Amino acid sequence: MKTILPGQTIGIIGGGQLGRMMGLAAKEAGFKIAVLDPNMDSPCGQIADIRIVAPYDDEAALEELGEVSDVITYEFENIDYEGLERLSQIAYVPQGAELVRITQNRIAEKAEIQASGAPVANYVVAESFSELIAKIDQVGFPCIVKTAYGGYDGKGQVKLESANDLELAEPLFTHSACIAEAFVPFKTEISVIIQRNPEGESYCLPISENIHKHHILHESIVPARVAEAVIAKAEEAAKKIADHLELVGTLAVEMFVLENDEIVINELAPRPHNSGHYSIEACNVSQFHQHIRAVCGWPLRKPRLWASSVMVNVLGEHVVPLKKVVMNHPDWSIHLYGKAEAKEKRKMGHVTIMTEDIEKTLVEIDSTGIWS
């Protein structure tokens, strides 16, 4: 296992908020940051020592990133797989490229989750709309059809209540092959962030309960309000998947919890996750610090939760009202990512509130009216 030390340079592919928070964690310890992003003023570019401004699949730019960096990581999965693969031959990429290939494609991702032995919803793969029609009875209704590539925040998917809705799925196939999966009548959504170093040492962060609005994460509540037995099952499933994938770095595992406390794995993200942002304040090691430890080949720290907490996302439309009240809430830790344009529904930042009374804090958040 190669060890990367302070003073050396960590190269990050992708300059969004996840890269920024990774970079800030690394800089605390004296690492230098190089970032590749098409935008000059990216959230991570603003805090980086070296900026390479080019598309993610620009071969010369990737090579340059390799040259200036002692280790390479990435902050999101929709980067160029072939580029990362080539880069891993000339630079040190401890996470490899395989996990990106798998998580870019829902079809490959589902197959790998299943192969690990963790439970997934009943699903079929369809290359075309006519194949979907032919196979849909194997899944039944209601179901959700999702494009294999490029979906996020609920984009690239439609819910079908009955056979009458089938045509709603047709446009998805202009994009790519799809999967159709049974609708899971979950009572709660949770996520497990598991982190693993090249030696195979791994830890899960305290499990978060996730509340979505318009398919975008709205709040994460930690610890998740689920039974102890659910926590154990969820951690076991995440461990199985991480070991199966020989994870290095961070894997976020999104899961559904059913009425009977069984769990179903929804999807994976091979990077720090929005539902783990609470760990910056509320844990003895944040998901970003632990990610840096893992890719730099350091022993990991066993995560501990200092206080239960609520994280609430700040989208474009929330920025102005939030700035008006945030100074009146000394317990609110505000994070804004430095994005110039506060477009509606764009993730601009988040707020973390450590609290002894989750229910009271949830009411307090609602009563500000910012998120209504």
Ligand X SMILES: Nc1ncnc2c1ncn2[C@@H]1O[C@H](COP(=O)(O)OP(=O)(O)O)[C@@H](O)[C@H]1O
Which of the choices ligand X, Mg ion, none does residue 144 contact, using the CB cut-off of 5 to 8 A by kind? ligand X
Cβ of residue 267: shortest distance to Mg ion, in angstroms?
A: 5
- For residue 8, give the 3-state DSSP assignment: strand
Pick between residue 82 and residue 153 the one whose CB is nearest to ligand X.
Answer: 153
Judged by beta carbon, residue 104 or residue 279, the one nearer ligand X is 104
Minimum distance, C-beta of residue 366 to Mg ion, in the bound complex (Å): 23
Q: How far apart are CA 99 and CA 269, in angstroms?
A: 9
Q: Which is nearer to ligand X, 116 or 197 (CB)?
A: 116
The partner in contact with residue 137, picked from Mg ion, ligand X, none with C-beta cut-offs of 5 to 8 angstroms by kind, is none
Query: Which CB atom, from 270 or from 297, has the smaller least distance to Mg ion?
Result: 270
Contact between 319 and 291 (Cβ < 8 Å): no
Q: Which residue is nearest to ligand X (CB)?
A: 184
In the range 66-125, which residues lie near Mg ion by CB under 5 A? none
Question: Please, which residue, 25 or 172, has the CB nearer to ligand X?
Answer: 172
Which option in ligand X, Mg ion, none does residue 48 bind, with CB closer than 5 to 8 A by kind? none
Q: What is the DSSP letter of 122?
A: -
Q: Annotate 44-69 with DSSP letters as a single string.
A: TGGG-SEEEES-TT-HHHHHHHHHH-
The helix, strand and coil proportions of the chain, stated in percent and rounded to the nearest 5, come to 35, 30, 35
Which of Mg ion, ligand X, none has residue 154 at its interface (CB below 5 to 8 Å by kind)? ligand X
Min dist. Cβ of residue 256 to ligand X (A): 7
Q: Which does 121 bind (CB under 5 to 8 A by kind): ligand X, Mg ion, none?
A: ligand X
To ligand X, the closest distance from the beta carbon of 152 in angstroms equals: 5
CB atoms within 10 A of CB 226: 18
- Measured between alpha carbons, how far is 22 from 195 in angstroms, rounded to an integer? 14
# residues contacting Mg ion (CB under 5 A): 1
**With CB under 5 A as the contact rule, which of the stretches 162-170, 217-225, 240-248, 249-257 interacts with Mg ion?**
249-257
Q: How would you class 340 by CB atoms within 10 Å of its CB: exposed for 0-12, middle for 13-18, buried for 19 or more?
A: exposed
Nearest to 142 by CA among 114, 120, 111, 121: 121
CB of 121 to Mg ion, least distance (A): 13
Strand partners, 257: 188, 263
CA distance 319 to 25: 24
- Choose the one of ligand X, Mg ion, none that binds residue 343, judging by a C-beta under 5 to 8 angstroms depending on kind: none
In the complex, minimum distance from the CB of residue 151 to ligand X, in angstroms, rounded to a whole number: 5
In angstroms, give the least distance from the CB of 219 to ligand X. Answer: 13
**Residue 349 partner contact from Mg ion, ligand X, none using kind-dependent CB cut-offs of 5 to 8 Å:** none
* Side-by-side strand order, sheet with 50-53: 50-53, 32-37, 9-13, 71-74
Tell how strand 332-336 and strand 216-222 pair up. unpaired
Pairing of strands 332-336, 263-269: unpaired
Interface residues toward ligand X, by CB under 6 A? 121, 144, 146, 151-154, 181, 183-184, 189, 212, 215, 254, 266-267
215 binds, among Mg ion, ligand X, none (CB under 5 to 8 A by kind): ligand X
Alpha-helical (H) ranges within 220-313 are 228-244, 279-282, 287-295
State which residue, 184 or 294, has the beta carbon closest to ligand X. 184
> Under the rule (CB under 5 A), what is the footprint of Mg ion?
254
